[in-house]
Structure 1
């Protein structure tokens, strides 16, 4: 696990306004789990990338210059840690993320963040298509309720599970924080 990048996607203050995004957010400890991984990456000086959504919609909770645009304190970048700004659902589109990963000869990425069915899924799909060994952490990602095309509300837990299930095997390996930390521990002492 020496050259595995941690990609932290859109853990921003604006997502704390739960009703704005559909209500009933699942995985209330997603940020805490992401922080556990972030601490390991920092301790081992592994590559990490903070991704921040800078919405082009000035009324968005994630528009630059607003409190909601700021990365949450629990996973806030330290001085010198790279923050990549994006304005679409993928951390790869309109950014230099792929160039940076390739320049560091990174072959594997671990993805955490918000929202499971939007930026996390899109970033993971692209990472998988680019050929990176991609891991998505199920309990360090989260989403909100959605209203289906038939007008029926779909619970966040269902949205989360369906999207992770769609990613698993085809685009990524889905693990929990504990499973990844155990895997890192085993590989360190192997």
Structure 2
């Protein structure tokens, strides 16, 4: 059974994670806010602005239609700057499928309130499995195929394991745990 993933945020980290997932055979759609950037990525089959050396697999979908990406996803992986996280979360909340998992690869705190990002997710999507994806990793290293490791922290062990399996690749390791607060704090620091 396939697990469609929507990666929201077409910066360097979102692009690297979307390409990794698609290369792993995961049905993946990369969403970008800028219509022109979406057209450029679809045409070039690369994100020439952030990771020009990382070509997109033919199976990676590119979209500028947020609602469709979110509605069709079993996992929504948010990878936007922390200052945009709250607004994007508010925008997608009505469209998230009832059983969809929510993950984020965003580091930092909510700048408006100083709150942890997991608090915003729990408040808006309280009955969804949630996980933070973080670690001492860089998008360019993933693009170059260099050994990379990160952590998937969640209070839902099954969801953490599922997401880690989807990300696992010969040069990419994802380790799981249940310390969301510690992972977010470490990522922000």
Higher relative contact order, chain-length normalized (CA < 8 Å, sep 6+): 1
TM-score (norm 1): 0.37
TM-score (norm 2): 0.37
Structure with higher Rg: it is 1
